[in-house]
Amino acid sequence: MRFDRLRRPAALVTGALFALPAFAQGATPKLDSGDTAWMLTASMLVLLMTIPGLALFYGGMVRAKNLLSVLMQCFAITALVTVLWMVYGYSLAFSTAGMHAGQVDLHSIVGGLDRFMLAGLKPDSLYNTVPESVFVMFQLTFAIITPALIIGAFAERMKFSALLWFTGLWLTFVYLPMAHMVWSGPGSLLGDLGVLDFAGGTVVHINAGIAGLVACLVIGKRKGYPTTPMPPHNLGYTVIGASLLWLGWFGFNAGSAVASNGSAGMAMLVTQIATAGAVIGWTAMEWFTHKRPSVLGAVSGAVAGLVAVTPASGTCGPGGALVLGLIAGAACFFTATKLKNKLGYDDSLDVFGVHAIAGIIGGLLTGPLAAATLGGFGTVTSLSGQLWIQAKGVGFTIAWSAALSYAILKLLDLSIGLRVDAEQEQIGLDLSEHEERAYNL
Amino acid sequence: MKWITAIIKPFKLDEVREALAEAGVQGMTVTEVKGFGRQHGHTELYRGAEYVVDFLPKLKIEIAVSDEQAERAIEAISSTARTGKVGDGKIMVFDLEQVIRIRTQEVDADAL
């Protein structure tokens, strides 16, 4: 089947094809104050997603004795990743030195160290129409939230020291190359394949979700799981956290236009629509099967919708976003509630069941939903062809994340050990790892 | 003298307190407690993980009364705390040997 080329303005097409396009050849980029103002704002919104958004979303779901450990892990990851990003992270992810469109070599997989310590960054350095400093900051917030997402899988049992080592190694060997392969422009491995990933479905969500599954399998179940009740200790926090994630996600998706333009506006709208669809999808499934619509279900559905629309937010239309959201919400209800219990792994806060699954659904459906016949705005000529390209991108991400995450976790488990001992786990990580209590009532 | 312990549904506390005051009871002690009887617990469901909560929150009321007051106090509790549904609680009555008011050192009936 063939589809008409896009009937949209050229600027939007470029924005849609490459979320983070490299400098247009020849044209000298000029700073745009509107774009800059929006990207400054978007960077703050994405940081808000991790602290306190994700921290509260996860924190409410753990038992009271582990609340501080979750908040601390999110906070520590924010600080650690910032420093690593400044030293070499930005360079490995976004250095384009030696890259040539269509040429696959080491430069297609990981950037060089020519931007070590942010070498060459000045107040007037530009990335497209925004200061490069703002782009460095914006991308940093993505690098922060991705390892932070994983902590939900091994919550309530990992040593804090192991968490720090894991974050540093995982960022270096899994995240940075992955970001480079998708977002560094012409010459990047997955970018050149034509994989559509507007805001990070592969780099962030599938990547983190698969690492989460591997992590909970390597570290093992929590003591007493699943026979001992481990109910969330404060779903109010979880609702606040999910709401902050929803809000912050506009920076994530609409900010990925790296401009204040029509592409950003459309990304914001489809993000809202897909999220609403997923809340309804999850809640309807739950109401039907369990006879009660739960609060935790509604907010989990929202996160599933946000994840699913992330790769599609630059190319899908409003109708496509609604369908995507409904499917993601319903599917993640199944994976987070039924599949997990059936398979018996202890992905404590459903990083795999929500992030990986919604990420995969979104990653695949981004292809067909970009087609004009399905209301999309991408330059997709063949539904099945683009679906296949998307599948290659998704499959590559799963394999990449699974293999490298496993190696890192095994290495750490054999060297410093991943888990606290049984007694410390029983006392709770707040007291045993941090000598503090969240609640002194 | 009698020592009356009653386990009641938490939302009935105000009614019971007013009825006891009308019956001439001068003071009471209230404790938040958890337990189960014939009502058993309830289930909670979080992302498909079902937990049976065995212990339900109740209030325990303790009062010390004279033998003459006891009948009225028991009647006050049993009539106001009653909903007719399973889980209304229990009233338990014990003989009370001695009461001392610490401030004045008064004993028994004078200390009630």
> Distance, in angstroms, between B44 CA and closest chain A CA?
8
What was the pLDDT predicted at A19? 43
Nearest-CA distance B11 → chain A (Å): 23
Please report the pLDDT score of residue B38 as a whole number: 85
Q: Quick check: is A197 in a domain?
A: yes
User: Do B25 and B65 touch, CB atoms closer than 8 A?
Assistant: yes
Q: What's the whole-number mean pLDDT along residues B57-82?
A: 95
Does a structural domain hold residue A13? no
Distance from CA of B95 to the nearest CA of A (A): 36
Please measure the distance between the N-terminal and C-terminal CA atoms of chain B and give it in whole angstroms: 9
Within 8 A by CB and 6+ apart from A16, the residues are: A8, A196, A198, A263, A314, A315, A370, A377, A378, A379
pTM value is 0.85
Does domain B2-111 fall under CATH 2.40.50.220? My reply is no
Cis ω for the linkage preceding A311 (within 30 of 0): no
The reported pLDDT for the residue numbered A215 is 97
CA distance A120 to A252: 26
- Per-residue pLDDT band for A27 (boundaries 50, 70, 90) equals low
pLDDT digits (tens, 9 = 90+) for A302-357: 999 999 999 999 999 999 999 999 999 999 999 999 999 889 899 999 999 999 99
Residue A303 lies in domain:
29-105+118-434
Q: How confident is the model at residue A26 (pLDDT cuts 50, 70, 90)?
A: low
Q: What residues of A are in contact with residue B51 (Cβ under 8 Å)?
A: 229, 231
Domain spans, chain B: 2-111
* Owner of token pair 């401009």: A259
Nearest to A269 by CA among A221, A228, A314: A314
**Interface probe with A: pick from B43, B44, B47, B51, most Cβ of A within 10 Å:** B47
Residue B51 and residue A297: Cβ atoms within 8 Å?
no
Q: How many domains does chain A have?
A: 1
- Mean pLDDT computed over A182-202: 93
Kindly give, in sequence order, each residue whose CB lies less than 8 Å from that of residue A209, ignoring residues fewer than 6 positions away: A149, A351, A352, A354, A355, A356, A357, A359
pLDDT single digits (tens) A273-298: 999 999 999 999 999 999 999 999 99
**How many residues are there in chain A?**
441
A3 occurs within a structural domain: no
Nearest by Cα to A19 from A186, A170, A199, A267: A199
Query: Is B45 within 8 Å of A338 when comparing Cβ atoms?
Result: no
Contact B48 A229 (CB under 8 A): no
Q: Omega before A177 cis (within 30°)?
A: no
What is the CATH number for A354? 1.10.3430.10
Q: Which among A229, A292, A300 has the least Cβ separation from residue B47?
A: A300
Instruction: Answer yes or no: do A337 and B51 touch at CB < 8 A.
Output: no
Q: Which residues contact A370 (CB under 8 A, 6 or more apart)?
A: A16, A196, A312, A315, A316, A376, A377, A378, A379, A380, A386
The continuous run of DSSP H or E covering A328 comes out as helix A318-333
Measure the CA–CA gap between A73 and A78, rounded to whole angstroms.
9
Q: What's the rounded Cα separation, in Å, for the pair A307 and A285? A: 19
- Give φ, ψ of B99 to 5 degrees: -130, 135
Cross-chain residue pair A340–B51, CB shorter than 8 Å? no
Whether A285 is in a domain gets the answer: yes
**Residue A317 within any structural domain of the chain:** yes
User: Closest partner residue to A336 among B44, B47, B53, by Cβ?
Assistant: B47
Q: Which tens digits make up the pLDDT trace of A98-139?
A: 999 989 999 999 999 999 999 999 999 999 999 999 999 999
Residue A256 lies in a domain: yes
* pLDDT at residue A111, as a whole number: 95
Percent pLDDT > 90 in chain A is 89
E strand segments, A307-423: none
